[in-house]
Structure 1
Amino acid sequence: MIQSEILLSLTNVTLSLPGVDGPVAILKGIDGEIRAGESVAITGRSGSGKSSLLAVATGLEPATSGSIKLLGTQLVGLNEDQLAAVRRGHIGIVFQAFHLLPNMTALENVAIALETADIATGKAARDRAAHALDQVGLLHRLKHYPSQLSGGEQQRVAVARATVIEPKLIFADEPTGNLDQAAGQLVRDLLLSAARSQGAALVLVTHEASLAAACDRIIHLDDGKVVS
């Protein structure tokens, strides 16, 4: 069997953050890899380091030590501009808190992802954004601002924004954490469907057993370490 390409590789990754009584160890020697086409759930109790692992894997938080290779590029030591260049056009991120731009419509929030990645501009970007929003059932909400959308609708806009660039890797941090059961299941299905249709790898941080079970593989963290 031919193994697929390694998109993300972590070797002995640690993360320590300042605390009142000195540095606090958050991640304690994390090893692992993510390959093209697979879906992986990162699980663990609150405070186990799940979101921190996602942050260092995407370069949003600098690791204290270790090696992180994202799409073949070593992230450790890169500055913010260099990290952004690695992510641009290749990485889609869905945040639990949505992080939509409040002064932009749903259409504009998705189109700006294409423009920032230099994939499309103007009408071409708007047309692709409209198609992405149609795919998540929001064609009737193109001109609505985030404040005019429900939590489930805002998260679907966030999914459309993350996937419209057809990234190689999709990261999602508790994507269903703020949603009711029906909306959460819809967002779960949208993420899995988008990853499969685009051949992307999907990495999910979640505390929900049903979401984790829908993935190909589960990485369980406890106290900053991979335990299974």
Structure 2
Amino acid sequence: MKIFIVLICLNILSSAVCLDIYRGQIVDECAEKNGLSDDDLEKWISYQKSTEDKFLCFMLCCHQKDGSLNEDGKWNQQFLEKHLNEMYLINNTLKSQIMQCFSDIPPIQSCQDMRSVEHCIPEIKIRNCRDEFGISNEDVDSFAKNPSDPSDKMLCYLKCSSENDNLIFEDGSLNHNFLRELIERSVDMGDQEKHLVEDCLSKIPPVRSCSDFKPFARCVVKMNLF
């Protein structure tokens, strides 16, 4: 799910670990510099946040290298806005709140100063959907190749992930305001396709079971959410 990428980005408040070769190099360099192993990064990415010095210094290193921090230690607002816009599953209200919060942070001069960033990141309750439904990398690859026919456990995983993403509320109803916002933001669809997707979603019954997720998935397949 794209929310996984989004939350990775939010963890270091930039796109330094998004799917980009250059930014991947930044992560590798900063991880090596601060003694982070692959296991450390995996735990950190899996929402097991840590305020150990090595993680704080790692984040500072990434921000300094990717340009999200200016030379004076202030956050580059244009950079943040650009990458928040690219974080597909952040709504406009949340984006504005994050931008304002970052503008109020005093200059970042040391690793310890990175602690001041934490209050700008909203608490997000996340279920570990992969482990909960036994989803492997092979399962994800298989779904990517044939998204029109997901397995039962993949449907459960996608439903769980969509609930994490706030696309679906706990009662199974769709978050139409958020979905409409995502449709408007999509660069992969023309106006007619956007209208068709929105019309399709308007007819979807509540998603209360894993099997209920299939019609929803068919509606949003062109939105590249999964």
TM-score by length of 2: 0.27
Q: Which structure shows the bigger proportion of residues in helix conformation? A: 2
Rg (Cα) greater in structure: 2
Higher relative contact order (CA 8 A, sep 6+): 1
Q: Which structure shows the bigger proportion of residues in strand conformation? A: 1
